[in-house]
Amino acid sequence: MKTMNYESSKWSRDAIDDVIVDEAELARRRKKRRIIVAVVVVLAVAVAAYMLLGRGSGTQAPAPAAKGAQGQQLPTVTVLVPGREEVPAILSATGTLAAVRDMPVGVAGEGGQIERVLVEPGDWVNAGQPLAIINRSVQAQESAQLAAQIEVARADLRLAQNELDRAQALVSRGFISQADMDRKRATRDATAARVRVAQANFGASRARIGRLDIRAPTPGLVLTRSVEAGQVVGAGSGALFRIAARGEMELLARLPQADLARLAVGVPVTVTPVGSARTYPGAIHQISPVIDAQSRQGVVRIRIPYDRELRPGGFASAQIRAGSVNAPLLPESAVLTDDQGSYVYIVGPNDSVIRRSVRVGSVTDRGVAIAEGLQGNEQVVESAGAFLNPGERIRPERGRRRRN
């Protein structure tokens, strides 16, 4: 028996000696436990601090949510009654920039080969300034020929006048009859007429040469150039240049028919080109008398003074100040939009949520004016509309009432 006990004891010690202790694993476990303990302590301190601060500031714990017919808790939602107040009527519109008077410039004369082009797009030109020069070598020779014909006619006139003067000196002596005097007088008058004809032909030739030059019909900004030196142009060549008369630009803005009725010529407008932080003052100078039958919109032409940053064909937005309106004013968080348009949620019977379609008017720093859809005495969900569904019951909590 003693031998057996000795061997059994020996086996147990050998088994214990064979166990390998992983010191690294033990260290990781201790570190993990310390982190968990630290996190728990931090959370406990934060909760305690929150509770102490809440008591110190006098805030009260929120009231328990109301329960529905089936015992479920109803969400508490802040609502407001907007009332009605005077809101600046600012109409927003978008459109395309264009020249008020976009003038195409082409060949006014018989045309020919372009010798030089003197301007580029973006240049400012004055009325009558040459834009391009057409070769005039043939026309110059014709003009010289007509100038020579004037001198010939004048020489014939001098000769006819001298013969008439001599004949008048002899008629009293009876050497020349009265009939001869009449013929010499007629010859002198016909020669004078030929001088005037030659002068008129020469003037017409000079005018044709002057029309060979392509000139600016009005001061303004050169928008496009579609001609090059060496090109042959004529009356059928179309517009070789386009000029914005006096550099004046306009915004062709589209507005609904109802908004057009509220506008008048001279109403001030602020225009902002897309991609630019700079705004430009303008004014309405024409309201379209025609409404598009498909879109039910009309065009408002807004004149803008010349500025090199304004480029025809660009896109811009406009803020049109059209007086003021008496309307409900809501925060932007209360107005929602989807495929069906703009809408708000109001509180209906039994505190159920009702969707109400609205038409948004002007947007100001104070909020969004509602042009149609609200009377102002409804309870409107202020900010939680995105999380509600029509027909859902809520527990409304009145927020700050807006002043009328």
* Containing structural domain, residue 363: 76-84+328-398
Rounded distance between C-alpha atoms, residue 398 and residue 404, angstroms: 17
Instruction: Write the DSSP assignment of 87-103 as a string of letters.
Output: EEEEEEEEEEEEESSEE
- Does residue 287 sit in the same domain as residue 379? no
Higher-confidence residue of 57 and 262: namely 262
Q: What is the mean pLDDT of residues 246-253?
A: 90
Q: Are 102 and 242 in contact (CB under 8 A)?
A: yes
In tens, the pLDDT along 365-380 reads 778 888 888 988 888 9
DSSP 393: B
Residue 91's CB is within 10 A of a number of other CB atoms, namely 21
Closest CA to 94 of 359, 371, 302: 302
In tens, the pLDDT along 105-145 reads 988 878 888 889 999 998 999 998 999 988 887 777 787 88
Residue 268 sits in a domain of what CATH number? 2.40.30.170
Element (H, E) at 110: none
Rounded distance between C-alpha atoms, residue 256 and residue 172, angstroms: 94
- Does residue 223 sit in the same domain as residue 336? no
Residue where one domain finishes, among candidates 271, 295, 323: 323
Domain count, the chain: 4
Residue 170 sits in a domain of what CATH number? 1.10.287.470
Rounded distance between C-alpha atoms, residue 268 and residue 302, angstroms: 9
Is residue 403 one of the residues assigned to a domain?
A: no
Radius of gyration of the chain (CA): 47
Is residue 196 one of the residues assigned to a domain?
A: yes
Q: Are 209 and 140 in contact (CB under 8 A)?
A: yes
pLDDT of residue 148: 87
In tens, the pLDDT along 162-201 reads 888 888 877 777 677 777 778 888 988 898 898 899 889 8
Higher-confidence residue of 2 and 95: namely 95
- Does residue 218 sit in the same domain as residue 143? yes
Share of the chain above pLDDT 90, in %: 15
- Does residue 109 sit in the same domain as residue 224? yes
Is residue 242 one of the residues assigned to a domain?
A: no
pLDDT score of 60 more than 50:
no
